[in-house]
Amino acid sequence: MRKFYLLLLACIFTLGVTAQTQVTLAYFSFSGLNGNSDVMPNMPKLYMADDGMQAGTAGLYADGTHGSSLLSDSALNNFSGSTINLWNNAAKSRDFAVVSEHANGKSIVFHFSTTGISAVQMTYAYKRTNTGFNSLVWSYSTDGENFTEFLSETTSGDTYEARGLDLSTVATINNQENVYLKVTFDGCTSGSGNNRIDNVKIDGMAAEDNFPPVYQSRVNYNDSIMTLTFSEDLNTNISTANFVLTDNVGNAAISSATVTGNVVLLIFNPALTEGNSYTLEMNNISDLAGNVMNPYTLNFKYGVAPEFHVATIAELRSKLSCASHTGSIADTVVYKLTGHVVVTAYDRWYHQTFIQDETGAIMLYDNISANGDNPTLGQVAPGDEISGIYCKLTNYWGYLEAIPQSAYLQWHDSDVDVEPMTITLDQISDQNFMMEHQAELIKLENTSIDATGSFNYGKRYVLSQGGVTDTALCTYFQYANYIGNTIPSGNQTIVGVNFAASKIYSNTYGFRYYIVPRIKADISGLVGIIDATMDKIAIYPNPTADIVNLNVAGATMAEIYDMNGRKVAAYSIGDNAVISLQNLSQGSYIMRVMSDNQVLGFTKLIKK
The answer to whether 403 touches 394, Cβ cutoff 8 Å, is: yes
| Regions of the chain short of the pLDDT cut 70 | 1-21, 34-42, 368-376, 409, 413, 531-533, 564
* φ, ψ (nearest 5 deg) of residue 15: -75, -15
Residues 6+ apart with CB under 8 A from 433: 427
Instruction: Spell out the SS3 assignment of 182-201.
Output: EEEEECCCCCCCEEEEEEEE
pLDDT at 6: 31
CA atoms within 13 A on the CB side of 516: 30
Q: Which residues pair with 98 in a beta bridge?
A: 76, 195
CA 162 to chain centre: 31
CA atoms within 13 A on the CB side of 360: 19
pLDDT at 1: 28
pLDDT at 19: 45
Strand 441-449 with 492-504, pairing:
antiparallel
Closest by CA to 24, choosing from 273, 204, 291, is: 204
Size (the chain), residues: 608
Instruction: Give one word for 290, left, alpha or beta, with left for phi > 0 and alpha for psi -120 to 50.
Output: left
Closest by CA to 179, choosing from 261, 137, 121, is: 121
CA distance 438 to 515: 11
Strands (E) located in 62-176? 76-77, 96-99, 107-112, 117-128, 135-141, 148-154, 161-167
CA distance 166 to 193: 27
Q: What's the start-to-end Cα distance of the chain, in Å?
A: 21
Q: Which residues pair with 599 in a beta bridge?
A: 594
pLDDT at 562: 79
pLDDT at 18: 38
pLDDT at 429: 94
User: Between the CA of residue 125 and those of 32, 103, 151, 159, 269, what are the distances in Å?
Assistant: 17, 21, 18, 10, 54
pLDDT at 518: 93
CA distance 536 to 524: 20
Instruction: Annotate 114-137 with b (16+ C-beta within 10 A) or e (fewer).
Output: bbbbbbbbbbbbbbbbebbbbebb
Local structure of 522: helix, strand or coil: helix
Closest by CA to 205, choosing from 466, 5, 469, 438, is: 5
Instruction: Spell out the SS3 assignment of 533-583.
Output: CCCECCEECCCECCEEEEECCCCCEEEEEECCCCEEEEEECCCEEEEECCC
pTM confidence score: 0.58
CA distance 220 to 241: 20
Sign of CA dihedral 232, 268, 389, 410: positive
Local structure of 387: helix, strand or coil: strand
DSSP for 300-369, please give it: EE-S--GGGEESSHHHHHTTS-----SSEEE----EEE-S-EEEEEEETGGGEEEEEETTEEEEE--TTS
Strand 335-337 with 389-396, pairing:
antiparallel
Closest by CA to 401, choosing from 500, 326, 496, 306, is: 500
- Structural element, H or E, at residue 260: strand 254-260
Residues 6+ apart with CB under 8 A from 395: 320, 321, 322, 324, 328, 329, 330, 401
* φ, ψ (nearest 5 deg) of residue 102: -70, -15
CA distance 196 to 219: 40
